[in-house]
Amino acid sequence: MTDQNYSFFDSVIKSFDKAAKFTNWDPGILEQIKVCNSVYKMKFPVRIGDNIEVIEAYRVQHSHHKTPCKGGIRFSMEVNQDEVMALAALMTYKCAIVNVPFGGAKGGIKIDPKQYSVFDLEKITRRYTSELVKKNFIGPGTDVPAPDYGTGEREMAWILDTYVAMHPGEVDAAGCVTGKPVSQGGVRGRKEATGLGVFYGIREVCNMPEIMQKLALTTGVADKTVVVQGLGNVGYHSAKFFREAGAKVVAIAEWEGAIYSKEGLHEEEVFQHRKKTGSILHFPGAENLVMTNDALELPCDILIPAALENVINGHNAPRIKAKIIGEAANGPLTPEADIILGNKKVLVVPDMYLNAGGVTVSYFEWLKNLSHVRYGRLGKRFSENMNKHILGTIEDLTGKKVNEAEKKFIEHGADEIDLVHSGLEETMITATREIMDIWLSNPAIPDMRTAAYILAINKVATSYAELGIFP
Ligand code: GLU
Ligand 1 atom 7, closest CA = 359
pLDDT at 2 over 50: no
SS3 46: strand
59 found inside a domain: yes
Mean pLDDT of 296-317: 95
Whole-number Å distance between alpha carbons of 155 and 441: 44
Q: Same domain, yes or no, for 215 and 259?
A: yes
What is the atom index within ligand 1 of the atom nearest the CA of 74? Answer: 1
Of the residues 106, 240, 380, 459, only one is catalytic, namely 106
Q: What per-residue confidence (pLDDT) applies to 471?
A: 60
Mean pLDDT of 219-246: 97
pLDDT at 178 over 70: yes
| Domain end position, chosen among 319, 354, 389 | 354
Q: What per-residue confidence (pLDDT) applies to 5?
A: 65
Q: Same domain, yes or no, for 128 and 235?
A: no
pLDDT at 1 over 50: no
Whole-number Å distance between alpha carbons of 91 and 96: 8
Cα 332 to ligand 1 centre (Å): 16
Q: What per-residue confidence (pLDDT) applies to 317?
A: 97
Q: What per-residue confidence (pLDDT) applies to 4?
A: 59
Is residue 345 part of the annotated active site? The answer reads no
Number of domains comprising the chain: 2
The answer to whether 247 and 222 are in contact (CB under 8 A) is yes
Question: Burial, 399: exposed, middle or buried (Cβ in 10 Å; 0-12, 13-18, 19+)?
Answer: exposed
User: Considering only 151-165, 196-210, 457-471, which range has the smallest mean pLDDT?
Assistant: 457-471
Whole-number Å distance between alpha carbons of 42 and 60: 11
pLDDT in tens, 328-386: 998 899 989 999 999 999 999 999 899 999 999 999 999 999 999 999 999 999 999 99
| Domain end position, chosen among 339, 354, 369 | 354
Q: Same domain, yes or no, for 105 and 127?
A: yes
Q: Same domain, yes or no, for 143 and 205?
A: no
- Among 362, 367, 368, say which to mutate for ligand 1: greatest number of ligand atoms within 8 Å of CB: 362
pLDDT in tens, 39-70: 999 999 999 999 999 999 999 999 999 999 99
Q: Same domain, yes or no, for 93 and 207?
A: no
pLDDT in tens, 243-257: 999 999 999 999 999
Lining ligand 1 with CB less than 6 A are 70-72, 146-148, 178, 330, 355, 358-359, 362
pLDDT in tens, 182-194: 999 999 999 999 9
What is the atom index within ligand 1 of the atom nearest the CA of 330? Answer: 4
The CATH number of the domain where 141 resides is what? Answer: 3.40.50.10860
Tell me the whole-structure pTM to 2 decimals: 0.94
Helices (H), 135-266: 153-166, 193-206, 209-214, 233-244
Whole-number Å distance between alpha carbons of 113 and 98: 31
Q: Same domain, yes or no, for 177 and 275?
A: no
In degrees and rounded to multiples of 5, residue 109 shows phi and psi of -120, 130
pLDDT in tens, 95-114: 999 999 999 999 999 999 99
Q: Domain containing 294: what range?
A: 193-354
Q: Same domain, yes or no, for 175 and 258?
A: no
What region, left, alpha or beta, does residue 399 occupy, with left being phi > 0 and alpha being psi -120 to 50 degrees? left
Cα 146 to ligand 1 centre (Å): 6
CA dist 362 → 179, 368, 400 (Å) = 6, 10, 44
- Percent of the chain at pLDDT exceeding 70: 98
